[in-house]
Amino acid sequence: MNTQATAGSAQNAAPASHHQARTQLYWLLAAVVVALGLPYVSNDYWVSIGTRAAIYWVLISGLNLVVGFAGQLAIGYVALLTIGAYTTSVLTAGKVFDPISVWFALPIASVMGAIFGVIVGLPALRLRTFYFAMTTLGFATIVTQIALAWQNVTGGGIGIPGPEMPAPFDDNLGFYYLCLGLAAICTWLTANIARSRFGSGLIAVRDAEVAAEACGISKSRLLIPVFILAGALAAFSGGLFAGLQTYITPDAFTFELSLLFFISILIGGRGSIYGPMIGTIILVILPEIAAPLAAWSTFLYAFLLLVIVLAMPGGIAVLLDFNNRRPLAKHRTVAPQTSLLAALNPQHSAQKILGLQDIVLSFGSVRAIDGVSLDVQPGKIHGLIGPNGSGKTTTLNVISGYYSPSEGHLTLGQEPLPPGLPHLRAGRGIARTFQTPRIVGEISVLENVMIGGATAGKANFLQSLLALPEERRERQALKTKALALLHVVGLGSLADIRTDRLQHSELRFIEIARALMISPEFLMLDEPAAGLSSDEINKLGALIKAISACGTGVLLVEHHVDLIFEICDDVTVLNLGKILAAGTPDEIRAHKEVVNAYLGG
């Protein structure tokens, strides 16, 4: 049954993605033909423009991961280009040591770029986007100042000659093909990262940071390798840039260049590889065909940026996304296939209990949780109910590690569960959903579910960068499981659809599928029935029962008491942060204070 459904769905989903892949392939082939043929249909001038576009793309492809995928606003990347250009030129000219070959100088420049890429990126790991934007801007300012002032090395305002390329790359044509080849390699490398768990993880951190943490994604572990890669590519590009310029002065590295890099990505669209590539080409060509506007090019770029931000936040990538143009079926119903779950979710044998003992948490002088103890048993459904503000969601947040309780402790089996550290919960088999679904709108439903399997990812950054077989196998396994889980929750037919096109109730089921990716020992659901129709609530109830039947302990926060009383094995009632009552559904239903305070007569 299980395999049948998976196969059937693969067929459903396949034509759309195949069709898209084929269109992309055609475009790519056309681009390659145009790029290779350019020297034969035009003059040297256009070849040099083509070379410049290719060199810029080497930088932008890496920056795209930082800006387009991770959503970090790196506006001063010209600084890393400058570092790369000067390092390469200084080393090949023998300004500091004996002159070395450009083939050694370029990798050394890349290492420099990688180091500074991380240093400049450090604030991004902890602080809001504006700080990172500022750090890169400040860095860009001081690097130019240093290039100007450090005269005995950089030549100051007079400058130094760029590296000379050895044959056969020493003429325009050879250099053009070299840069083109490198640009193609960079496209391949960064597309590999984009497709891997690193790419989807970056997008998850960008658009749903809290949910990403709950799925076990660590922001710094994702961002640091990306900063290294982007920095290295930027500096490498700088070395080539110096080769193109033949002579470099600080004037060559204007902030306008930074802006060009940055805006290319935004025009292209976030989370895309081809969009920014087209953006780069457009922005490089634009001043050439509108020569009278050359002096105003910064103004033009800035104006474009404003227009994009205000009118077209999706960029070119949205125009290219043919797959999501077709209308979705109206009046869709979610039809979970709970019978499929048992085969996917191995029966949990360890009989661990998730326990809270005398938890106290205060916000200022308000005791949001005031001495709460409860046990979530494996294979059972534990309901947590109470009026608004009674501390239900806060209790979940304590278990997930978003808040550290001031008193009391958490245990998982025999071991204490350390307070805080939300990104380590998934690794311990604890998954959750959120009161307002925290889903990434710009990626497909399937990709959203795959994010839930982040802790299963073993392939490292290098393996992902080169798309080694191990990484591909891992990704395929993740995809298969995610698709199967989508069928379990009843959304298999929507796997390839961009998530922001779905309706609210469907998002709730996506969150459950995402949480099931780790085959959790404990699953916490925060008001999963809110906004669902009564039919959907019944289906949700059956789904939750099927999940607990696999041995998963479920902690269910809900206001629909009918659902609670129907499916729960134990119920805890909170009021003003304290436990008002605890027991079986029947006991709670008859509990006088609960009836008075919450259920109503």
Partner 1 sequence: MFASILAAGLAAGAIYALVGITYNTMYSTSRVMSFTAGQLGMLGGVFGSYFILKLGLPIIVGFLATLVCCAILGYITEIVAVRPVLKSLEQHLYVLSTLALALMIQQVTAIEWGTEPRPFPKLVGWGEGVWDEKFWIPVVACALTIIGLEFLYRRTLVGRAFVAVAEDNFAAQALGLPERNLRVASYMLAAVVGGIAGFSGGELLLAFFANGALLNFYGFVPVALGGLGNNRGAVIGGLILGLFQQAANFLVGGIFASVAVFTLFIVVLLAAPQGLFGSAVARRV
| Chain residues that interact with partner 1, rule: CB under 8 A | 71, 73, 75, 119, 122-123, 126-127, 129-131, 133-135, 137-139, 141-142, 145-146, 149-150, 209-210, 255, 259, 266, 295-296, 298-299, 301-303, 305-306, 308-310, 313, 397, 402, 434
Q: Virtual CA dihedral for 90, 91, 97, 101, nearest 10 degrees?
A: -150
The upper half-sphere exposure of residue 121, i.e. CA atoms within 13 Å in the direction of its Cβ, equals 29
- Closest contact distance (angstroms) between CB of 79 and partner 1 is 11
Most distant CA pair in the chain, distance: 90
Give 523's strand partners. Answer: 431, 554
Q: Which is nearer to partner 1, 259 or 563 (CB)?
A: 259
Q: Which is nearer to partner 1, 146 or 285 (CB)?
A: 146
- Closest contact distance (angstroms) between CB of 90 and partner 1 is 16
Q: Which is nearer to partner 1, 135 or 196 (CB)?
A: 135
Q: Which is nearer to partner 1, 126 or 221 (CB)?
A: 126
Q: Which is nearer to partner 1, 104 or 296 (CB)?
A: 296
Q: Cα 380 from chain centroid?
A: 34
- Closest contact distance (angstroms) between CB of 119 and partner 1 is 7
Q: Where are the beta strands (DSSP E) in 401-540?
A: 407-412, 415-417, 430-432, 522-526
Q: Count CB-CB contacts under 10 A for residue 467.
A: 18
- Closest contact distance (angstroms) between CB of 105 and partner 1 is 23
Q: Which is nearer to partner 1, 145 or 503 (CB)?
A: 145
- Closest contact distance (angstroms) between CB of 256 and partner 1 is 9
- Closest contact distance (angstroms) between CB of 364 and partner 1 is 12
- Closest contact distance (angstroms) between CB of 97 and partner 1 is 21
Tokens for 40? Answer: 């034969």
Q: Where are the beta strands (DSSP E) in 386-496?
A: 407-412, 415-417, 430-432
- Give whole-number Cα distances, 248 to 141, 156, 243, in Å: 17, 10, 9
Decide: residue 22, CB within 10 A, 0-12 exposed, 13-18 middle, 19+ buried: exposed
Q: Which is nearer to partner 1, 123 or 583 (CB)?
A: 123
Q: Which is nearer to partner 1, 126 or 458 (CB)?
A: 126
Q: Which is nearer to partner 1, 219 or 539 (CB)?
A: 219
- Residues contacting 248, CB < 8 A, separation 6+: 85, 86, 89, 159, 160, 161, 162, 241, 242
- Closest contact distance (angstroms) between CB of 113 and partner 1 is 17
Contact predicate 518/537, CB 8 Å = no
- Closest contact distance (angstroms) between CB of 134 and partner 1 is 5
Containing 131, the helix (H) or strand (E) segment is helix 129-149
Closest CA to 190 of 37, 342, 57, 38: 57
Question: What is the rounded distance in angstroms from the CA atom of residue 588 to the CA atom of residue 599?
Answer: 10
Contact predicate 82/144, CB 8 Å = yes
Closest CA to 383 of 545, 505, 577, 210: 545
Tokens 């044959």 sit at which residue? Answer: 167
Q: Which is nearer to partner 1, 135 or 264 (CB)?
A: 135
Q: Which is nearer to partner 1, 37 or 441 (CB)?
A: 441
- Closest contact distance (angstroms) between CB of 434 and partner 1 is 8
Q: Which is nearer to partner 1, 73 or 240 (CB)?
A: 73
- Give whole-number Cα distances, 495 to 132, 480, 501, in Å: 35, 11, 12
Tokens for 519? Answer: 């085959």
- Closest contact distance (angstroms) between CB of 247 and partner 1 is 21
- Closest contact distance (angstroms) between CB of 422 and partner 1 is 9
DSSP codes of every residue in 135-184: HHHHHHHHHHHHHHH-HHHH-TTT-EEPPPPPTTSSSHHHHHHHHHHHHH
The upper half-sphere exposure of residue 547, i.e. CA atoms within 13 Å in the direction of its Cβ, equals 35
